[in-house]
Structures are given as structure tokens and as C-alpha cells.
Structure 1
Amino acid sequence: MVAEPDSALLKHASQDVEAFSQIVAAYQTPVFNLCYRMLGDPQEAEDAAQETFWRAFQALHRYDHSRSFLTWLLSIAAHYCIDQLRKRRTPVESIQEWMDEILPGSSPNPETQYTQLEESQRIQQLLMRLEPHERAVLILRYWYEMSELEMAEMLSISTSAVKSRLHRARQKMALLWKEQQSRYTSKESAHEAPAY
């Protein structure tokens, strides 16, 4: 995780675009990554990240220094992305261990890395089929490792709502994953050469 900016920089950045650019440089990667996971398109994610920083700059004087700056910034990004997805009206059509198993890990093995890249792309496709609020909790939980309390604070909902959304999102992801697996299996068996 990125280190918290000091209060002097934040105070200066609220009045000076050049000083704020230091904050942008420090936080652009996590903000872009969240936007990309939410929106699924690099160009849209870039636009959303820029909009996030613009909104943060405008609201910096209201930032509560007792909160994590990254959490505050990602909250702005998540809300903006959810709004964008609502405008799109993306159609949507348990499993804790399954999520832990398929989500990003690190391995030096090139074959494993290639497989993980394929898995990551398939996961991104599945994420795009979830409702925006379900996608948000999965991304914050598994990619940013936030607690239910942090997510509740960030999304302005109760912890019980976070738990409920996580539960539904995991179930949907599992069903979508099984559906996708059966399609891949069907395609592979259709391409197998007949035995003579």
C-alpha cells in the first residue's frame, strides 16, 4: 500500500495544482487499478481516474485527516465508477475458498504466470457481469484486502449490507464461473479429433 501523504502536503495541495500532482503521482496506480476492475476498459478507467483526482482536488478541503487518505480517494473512485456503470445499465445475469483460489497470487513459474493471466482475464469478464455494487465489494475485498468495516465506511453502507453484498457477489461469481467452465469444456470436447 502507498504511504499516507503528510498533512503539510495535503494542505498545500488543496490550494496548488502543482503540489496536488505529487499526490496524483503517488496514488495513480491504485486508483487506475480500481477503476479498471470496476469498468473493465482501460480508456474508461483512465478517464475515471482523472475524474477521481479532479473530484478529490475539489473536495480536499473537506478531507477528514483521521481517515486513511487512500480509502478516501478510492471511495471517490468507487462511487464515480458505480455511477458510470448505472448509466450504462450493464445487464447482470459461496464460495470463499473458490474466490481465494482463483484470485491473483504470485509465482515465478512462467507457465503458471501465463495461466494466471488467462484466469485474470476470465475473472475480469465475470466481474463485468455483476451489478456495480457487487463488483465494488469483491474488488475492495480481494484486490485491496479491505475489512468489512473499511468497505462500509468507504461505500457509506452498513457492515451488514457489506456482508450481504459480498455473499451475493460470491454466489453469482461462482455460478458464472461454473457456467463459463462448462462452456470451455464443451468447446474443447467439440474440437477433439475423433478416434479411429
Structure 2
Amino acid sequence: MAARTQEQYQVRFAWGSAGADRIAHGTHLVVWVDVLPEPSGGGADPAARARAAAALLPDGPEVVLGHLANAAAVAERVTSLQAERGDRCVVAVVAAGRTTDLGVTVADAAGEPTDGAETPEPAVEDLLAAGAVVDALVTVGIDHTSPEAATACAAYTGLRRAVRHLVSAAEGAADLDRETVHAALAAGPELVVLRESGTRA
């Protein structure tokens, strides 16, 4: 089991499934942030890969998909959970990053998700989207953030006017056609629930 980290903070941030193992303990919501498809991902879009990733995350918290356009919806979900609980909602924001398989194989021969061994590299698009989520949480008053989450937030707020350009010019977009990148950037504000609380995907 990975060492538990950032446990004193309400809003936490890490990279990939291994990062989720470190920071998702005691949380009520995990936001899996994945903006662009992987060229080597066999055609799987971020939502499909995120569902596979959700099956590997620690049991307990609800898991939702985060991206650049739905940060406000994530914040609304957190405030709703706090109202339901009558207490604070602890959030783990987890950026998928870039690896051959994002640390996840969608399914093995038996149809079960399997874990990859690679550690994700930071990805500009996922860092900015994670920062957008943290910024939206801070905006609604959920601002007890870890240094890691605060840094992601600062990256987004400092660069928010250039986000679309930065994502389009980033390594993650280099091997994708322009239409695929534009479609990812045009993702709507809806919140996609990848796993209900207390269940596996």
C-alpha cells in the first residue's frame, strides 16, 4: 500500500493511479482529470479510459471525470455532497498524465481492468484542467488545499487566458489531429460520474 499523503488537507492533488492510492484515503470524491485521448490508446476516449481507471482507484469515494469545461459542475457536486453530509467533503483531484497506457489497461482477456506499471508523466492539459477544478473549488469557498493542489491552481489561474492555445500546442496534442483536439476542448460542462460512492466501476 502506498504511503498516505496530504491527509490534513480538504483538497488534494496527485498524478495517476499511484497518486490516487496515496491521496484518496478518507476522501468523499475523486476527480479523475483526463483531457486528451492518447494516440496509443487504441481509440479509447478519455471517458472510456477514465472508467477503466476508476475501477482501480481505492474503494469508497465517488469518482467523476474532470476536464477544462466542467470545473464548475465539479464544485457544485462538492457543495452538494457537503450539504448532504452536513460536514466537509474531502476531494482528491487526480490528473491522468501521459503514459503508453495511462497506467491502465482497459481490459484483460477476461474483461477485467488491469493495472499497468508505468508512472504517468505530467501533461500540460491535465495540469491546467486539474488547476481549473481546484480554482472552482476555491471560488465556492473550499480552499483548504494542499501545496500540490495550490500549485496546480496557480498554473491555471496564471495561464487561464492562454489555456486553449497551450493545450493545442502541448505534447499531448502533437500526435492527434486538429479535430480530435478541438473536440476535446469543446467537451461540455456536464458532470460524468464514473463510479458511485462505495462501489467499483
Structure having the larger proportion of residues in strand: 2
Structure having the larger proportion of residues in helix: 1
Is the TM-score greater than 0.5?
A: no
TM-score by length of 2: 0.24
